[in-house]
Amino acid sequence: MSERPYRLQALVFSLVVAAFTNIYITQPVLPVLTMEFGVSEFQASLSVSAVILGIALANLPFGLLADRSPVRPIILVGGIIITICGLLCAATNSLKLLVLARFFQGLFIPTVSTCVVVYLGRSLPLERLNVVMGSYVAATVAGGLGGRLLGGWLHPPLHWRYAFVTSSFLLLSATLAAVRWLPPETRKIEQHTEELGFLNILARGDVRRIYLVSFGAFFVFSSIFNYLPFYLHGAPFHAPTQVITLMYLAYLLGIVAGPVSGNLSNRFGNGVTMLGGTLVLALAIISTLIPSLWAVAASLAGVCAGFFAIHASAAGLLNRKLTVSRGRANSMYILFYYLGGSAGITVSGLAYERGGWPGVAALGLVMLIIPFTVGWRERKVGA
């Protein structure tokens, strides 16, 4: 009996890790792609941005589908399509076909991200939802980092095609295991008369505030990690690329922070956990201004711990607030999440041009007003 919760967490973790591994798999080998296909840096980068675009476009439709249909068949179909597209990426000699296949991978990644969240909300009691949602968040972290390591470290960059073969095999295995062993959905699929439309969900102030948290937190996090290399390459650090790459391993802390945040949310409430995560993230951003590589490394660990505490508590809080239309609600959460990341990188670029790293840090601190305010309002939402 005691093994079942851990088996569920392991199934969800492995499936989401395998899916998210595909998102950034070409990022570390973009220079190799420019040479192999004879294209510009912008054209090669489409192999990453096409996936993000697909995810953004497909989240809402798959959220709607998950509200009306059993989730297991969606997971099976999505996992198979992502796998086939990955093998196509490994075999093609055309960048256009590679980008198109990557776009289709992005379109179907919500089948094993958004739809899995709907499955959890439909199948778990509230006291377990926070913990397993923490594992889900940790899995997105491990997958995002794993894709980069798979594409740039495990396989030599010149053999990037093998990374796609490996990721495809992992995803197919995780998909089949999930379809075979995920426990049955214990709650009925929502009836049409009970469903909330997207506009109805947005009309709820308590839910809308959570979406703003998703937007604001990833705005800050994506900005910090996107402009970190520029900061560390310059004075006073003059850090080589190898050292900067090692700094990104702080991302691994999110694997631990997700489940821990779920347990803290059960004990103290999602709002209190969100407040704590915001304060840790703010202190970490301030600490990056210390002109020491060791201080920056410690600060990045704090950035990851704070961000994933906010992310996990917000995702758990959203699913505790809603009893219907969880698919729509979670798909919109992810949409706001990626919109925040895109906006953060864009706006922080202007801040970096005008104010350097202090400009990026200051903008991040201003944006943290959002999760702090929402966490303060929600601090009495109990475990």
Q: How far apart are CA 246 and CA 28, in angstroms?
A: 13
What's at 288, amino acid-wise?
T
Residue 376's pLDDT band, with cuts at 50, 70 and 90, is very high
Q: How far apart are CA 33 and CA 298, in angstroms?
A: 33
pTM (predicted TM-score): 0.71
The DSSP symbol for 255 reads: H
Output the six-digit token pair for 248.
């990104």
**Residue-range domain boundaries for the chain:** 3-189, 198-377
Shared fold status for 3-189 and 198-377: yes
Q: How much is the pLDDT for 231?
A: 84
Q: How far apart are CA 171 and CA 112, in angstroms?
A: 10
Higher pLDDT pick, 283 / 261: 283
Residue 99's pLDDT band, with cuts at 50, 70 and 90, is very high
- The string of pLDDT tens digits covering residues 356-369 is 999 999 999 999 99
Residue 1's pLDDT band, with cuts at 50, 70 and 90, is very low
Q: 């939802």: which residue's tokens?
A: 129
Higher pLDDT pick, 21 / 258: 21
Q: How much is the pLDDT for 319?
A: 78
Average pLDDT over residues 77-81: 97
Q: Is the pLDDT of residue 165 over 90?
A: yes
Nearest residue to 182 via CA among 257, 255, 118: 118
Q: How far apart are CA 308 and CA 261, in angstroms?
A: 8
CATH architecture for the domain at 198-377? Up-down Bundle (1.20)
Cβ contact 67:326 at 8 Å: yes
Higher pLDDT pick, 127 / 35: 35
Cβ contact 340:215 at 8 Å: yes
Domain 3-189 class, CATH top level? mainly alpha
